[in-house]
Amino acid sequence: MQRNYKTKLLPLKHEKDLLTLVENRSVYTMQHCELNVFETHKQSEKVKLVFDDMVLTSMLRGKKVMHLFGTETFDYLPGESVIVPEHEEMVIDFPDANGENPTQCIALALQSDILQDTMHLLNEKYPKTEKADSWKIDLSCFHLQNTYEIASTVDRLLSISTENISAKDVLVDFTLKELLIRLMQTQARQLILDSYHKHTNTNRFAYVVEFIKAHIHEEITIDKLSGLCCMSKPNFFRCFKREFGISPVDFVIHERIKAAKKLLKDINITISQASYAVGINNLSYFFKLFKRVEGITPNEFRKNLVANY
């Protein structure tokens, strides 16, 4: 839905400090997690890695090719994260790694108790809108583009973990819980976006997503969306943002920009036409929203398409 956000880069090890050129590992151990920073400075393939706990990995530099679950193979790039269950073997290729272009990745191994505590807190205090649903890490949605919220939380976690500060474990635990919540919200949003048509009869937010996509060229109000859910406007707004980590207003904006991007790939469609086609009738406002969501203007988006063609 959004562009992916890259986390801040960590300093690379000096060559003389590397113990190995392939997945050189630096470890920072806290009470409920272990932060591993891996660097690879040499092209290599079929490097195997296993953790005893569930791991959140995030790419900082370079490119990996990941092989997971026996059947999943994909490029792994900066601005992305991958969730790997405990005892699952990762097989990793480094097709482009060298001294001038190393890869760098973090792997955050999480003890099960902090994950269970966070899920229990959410399910007890902030249950999902649909009674049959519950908060959980869903491994069917294991490869994620970082949202701004995930990237900024990872940045704070890296800063706390790698600095010599007092009360480090307490600060890390608070940040870990926030990160887990952000991950679950992002997964919930992505799962609905990927398969909303399958759940319109059982999930009211899936029904809302279907309506937004079908009426993206029209005015869409919170009154209308809350009515579709048979909820008051304040309750709808609160529940939607709690479950997906984004307000319904911002969700509609992101869907409009996503639809506009598809139209802009057609060189026969003008920027004005794309703007009007997704329900934004003020061109300067369209430029403002596009820049806010994508980080670039519609003109720059088109130039990048031509450059990459």
Dihedrals phi, psi of 27, to nearest 5 degrees: -125, 135
> What span, in angstroms and rounded, lies between the C-alpha atoms of 185 and 169?
24
Report the CATH fold assignment for 204-307. Arc Repressor Mutant, subunit A (1.10.10)
pLDDT at site 15: 84
> What span, in angstroms and rounded, lies between the C-alpha atoms of 164 and 154?
17
pLDDT at site 2: 54
> Is 204-307 in the same CATH topology as 15-194?
no
pLDDT at site 296: 94
CATH number of 15-194: 2.60.120.10
> What span, in angstroms and rounded, lies between the C-alpha atoms of 124 and 227?
27
The residues with which 92 forms a beta bridge, in sequence order, are: 47, 66
Please count the other Cβ atoms lying within 10 Å of the Cβ belonging to residue 126: 13
Dihedrals phi, psi of 47, to nearest 5 degrees: -80, 130
| Domains of the chain, residue spans | 15-194, 204-307
Beta pairing class for 24-29 and 54-61: unpaired
pLDDT at site 1: 44
Taking only the tens of pLDDT, the chain with its 309 residues reads 456 688 888 999 988 899 999 999 999 999 999 999 999 999 999 999 999 999 999 999 999 999 999 999 999 999 999 999 999 999 999 999 999 999 999 999 999 999 999 999 999 999 999 988 999 999 999 999 999 999 999 999 999 999 888 899 999 999 999 999 999 999 999 989 888 898 888 899 999 999 999 999 999 999 999 999 999 999 999 999 999 999 999 999 999 999 999 999 998 999 999 999 999 999 999 999 999 999 999 999 999 887 776
SS3 283: helix
